[in-house]
Amino acid sequence: MTKPKVLISDKMDPNAAAIFRERGCEVDEITGLKPEELIAIIGQYDGLAIRSSTKVTKEILDAATNLKVVGRAGIGVDNVDIPAASAKGVVVMNTPFGNSITTAEHAIALMFALARQLPEANAQTQAGLWPKNGFMGVEVTGKTLGLIGAGNIGSIVASRALGLKMKVVAYDPFLTPERAVEMGVEKADLDTLLAKADFITLHTPLTSETRNILSAENLAKTKKGVRIINCARGGLVDEAALKDLLDSGHVAGAALDVFVTEPAKESPLFGTPNFICTPHLGASTTEAQVNVALQVAEQMADYLVTGGVTNALNMPSLSAEEAPKLRPYMALAEKLGSLVGQLAHDNLTKIAIEVEGAAAQLNPKPITGAVLAGLMKQYSQSVNMVNAPFLAKERGLDVREVRHDREGEYRTLVRVTVGTSQGERSVAGTLFGNGQARLVEIFGIGIEADLDGDMLYIVNTDAPGFIGSIGTLLGKTGINIGTFHLGRREAGGEAVLLLSVDSPVSEEVLAEARQVQGVRIVKALKF
């Protein structure tokens, strides 16, 4: 078996390459490549490990004919064209937790620097001025810290602030009351936080909802004398408005580690009294850089070797522990998606993926991704679990997941229902004890069948002699029947015949089959 091949294109801790090799990957470390140089060689690699220097553009992805995963050693993926990667079926991973402590500590450090005006005091002291009476700081003890974003980094900042005997008020739409109690913080809306906070620190990604969350309007709602720290993302704070409020004295101090434009060669804030800045140093500690390099290597190797997916930004996470349990379900789901796609792929408007029994206890996202991958193969042969949701969305397909706690006829069941111009069409399958996928229902008719290889699907009127007629037709055309599965609604009513055959069924044979008395629909299937 050929080993997956990985390119490390940015400088990383050397142990990252060692992890790739230990886990069964070949690895090349080639840094400082120009875009055209990367385009020339990327086609030979299955994985690309980067930091912030390499820009993974659509042009590079188009040349990456074997690429399966891009791993970013760090949290920000502004240098990766994620929509283009998704369309190509390339997983994009980051390492959101490797530099969490480092970034949180930097925010606390900047808070202290603001409270005691350390940079200015240092500069004047080193200039020989000895300004002992020129700087009057404030204590952080007893002050209120307003936390915008209470996720991983925000929660670490909160714990450090509580250790400093501060009060913490947190705004985060995803923060539950129970989690707030667990963290020891007060959950509040944004306006309440702005009115209460003596210090405000931001720990949220840059999205359409969070862009300029500290706008001129919101900055005006803060209490006089507030101090603001941003170690998250440039664009969360209106820099021009912050400059005005620093000049007016309403904001007592501000510290930014991030800017709207980076590198920040110029800014209206530069030179403003009580303003501190650092050049995006939140993750810049030895420990953090080692952590993210090792984590990205572990994650990428897991995906390339075992199929485990961790911290992916464009597909559901699937741990190495989950993968063995989910893999049989994903195989079943892909076959069900393929079946319903081959039989009802015209004018699809919606799709529902339902799980019940043992399947309902599992992470449904990989199952949904596998169904969509099977379905979307009717539109593109290069489809996989990464780009299938992208293709479904592109075609306006409404996707719904349903989990049932009920006990059904089968120990575990996956049902796929699509909406078509002729109404809803549904197929269902289960897993036998050995993990073998088995179809158990097709368009409301109970039928047990394996879905494998070349198959023939026939809808007919149930009548004596029909099976013999089909067998005779296939026999005279040299097509051998492997397995034979029959289901019907009622005696003499609509019936379904699924045959596995040892060779593909030609259009000429299909045309002959349509002439057999009682036949309504004939289709060749491929799994």
Token look-up 């919101």 returns 218
pLDDT at residue 480 in the model: 92
pLDDT at residue 40 in the model: 97
* Token reading at 294: 């090792």
- Domain residues for 82? 5-98+288-306
Residue 382 banded pLDDT, cuts 50, 70, 90:
low
**256 plus 358 within the same structural domain:** no
148-164 average pLDDT score:
95
pLDDT at residue 345 in the model: 59
Q: Over 80: is that where the pLDDT of 402 sits? A: yes
pLDDT digits (tens, 9 = 90+) for 112-127: 999 999 999 999 999 9
Residue 28 banded pLDDT, cuts 50, 70, 90:
very high
**407 plus 345 within the same structural domain:** yes
Identify whether 396 is part of a domain. Answer: yes
The CATH code of the domain that includes 242 is: 3.40.50.720
**Residue 69: closest CA among 419, 322, 305:** 305
pLDDT at residue 180 in the model: 93
The CATH code of the domain that includes 523 is: 3.30.70.260
**36 plus 160 within the same structural domain:** no
Q: Which residues contact 127 (CB under 8 A, 6 or more apart)?
A: none
pLDDT digits (tens, 9 = 90+) for 213-261: 999 999 999 999 999 999 999 999 999 999 999 999 999 999 999 999 9
Residue type, 261: T
**Is residue 237 classed exposed, middle or buried when 0-12, 13-18 and 19+ CB atoms within 10 A define those classes?**
buried
- Catalytic choice (37, 182, 217, 262): 262
145-158 average pLDDT score:
94
Residue 197 · residue 218 · CB < 8 Å: no
Token look-up 């079926």 returns 89
Strand order in the sheet with 494-501: 481-488, 494-501, 454-461, 519-526
| Proportion of the chain above pLDDT 90, given as a percent | 61
**269 plus 410 within the same structural domain:** no
- Catalytic choice (51, 72, 227, 233): 233
| Proportion of the chain above pLDDT 70, given as a percent | 97
- The least confident of 42-51, 253-262, 505-514 is 505-514
Helix 286-306 to helix 15-22 angle, to the nearest 10 degrees?
A: 20
Q: Over 90: is that where the pLDDT of 147 sits? A: yes
C-alpha dist (Å) from residue 240 to 207, 237, 269: 20, 9, 8
pLDDT at residue 75 in the model: 81
Residue 435 banded pLDDT, cuts 50, 70, 90:
confident
**485 plus 382 within the same structural domain:** no
**Residue 163: closest CA among 171, 155, 175:** 155
Percentages helix, strand, coil for the chain (3-state, rounded to 5) are 35, 25, 40
Stated as kind and residue range, the H or E segment containing 327 is: helix 322-343
C-alpha dist (Å) from residue 134 to 117, 126, 247, 251, 329: 10, 14, 18, 19, 69
> Which among 386, 417, 451 is the end of a domain?
451
Q: Over 70: is that where the pLDDT of 1 sits? A: no
Identify whether 315 is part of a domain. Answer: no
pLDDT at residue 365 in the model: 85
Q: State the number of CA atoms in the 13 A half-sphere of 88 facing the CB.
A: 25
Identify whether 241 is part of a domain. Answer: yes
pLDDT at residue 489 in the model: 85
- Asked if omega into 119 is within 30° of 0 (cis), the reply is no
**246 plus 292 within the same structural domain:** no
378-395 average pLDDT score:
72
Identify whether 283 is part of a domain. Answer: no
pLDDT digits (tens, 9 = 90+) for 86-140: 888 899 999 988 888 999 999 999 999 999 999 999 999 999 999 988 899 999 9
pLDDT at residue 320 in the model: 62
**258 plus 295 within the same structural domain:** no
Q: Supply φ then ψ for residue 93, to 5 degrees.
A: -115, 150
Identify whether 314 is part of a domain. Answer: no
Q: Over 80: is that where the pLDDT of 154 sits? A: yes
> Which among 412, 430, 451 is the end of a domain?
451
Residue 228 · residue 237 · CB < 8 Å: yes
pLDDT at residue 91 in the model: 92
**92 plus 62 within the same structural domain:** yes
Query: How many domains would you assign to the chain?
Result: 4
262 a catalytic residue: yes
Q: Over 90: is that where the pLDDT of 3 sits? A: yes
Q: Over 80: is that where the pLDDT of 484 sits? A: yes
The CATH code of the domain that includes 427 is: 3.30.1330.90
CA 354 to chain centre: 21
**445 plus 330 within the same structural domain:** yes
- Catalytic choice (51, 203, 227, 280): 280
pLDDT digits (tens, 9 = 90+) for 303-330: 999 888 888 888 777 666 677 788 899 8
Most confident of 118-122, 177-181, 339-343, 462-466: 118-122
**222 plus 259 within the same structural domain:** yes
Residue 196 banded pLDDT, cuts 50, 70, 90:
very high
Q: Considering the chain, what is the average pLDDT of its residues?
A: 90
pLDDT at residue 140 in the model: 97
Identify whether 311 is part of a domain. Answer: no
Q: Over 70: is that where the pLDDT of 64 sits? A: yes
Residue type, 350: K
- Give the pairing of strands 445-449 and 437-442: antiparallel
What is the per-residue DSSP string for 405-444? -S--SSSEEEEEEEEETTEEEEEEEEE-TT--EEEEEETT
**382 plus 469 within the same structural domain:** no
> Which among 451, 466, 492 is the end of a domain?
451
Q: CB count, 10 Å around CB of 267?
A: 17
Cα separation, 224 vs 222, in Å, equals 6
* Between 29 and 492, residue with greater pLDDT: 29
280 a catalytic residue: yes
**105 plus 212 within the same structural domain:** yes
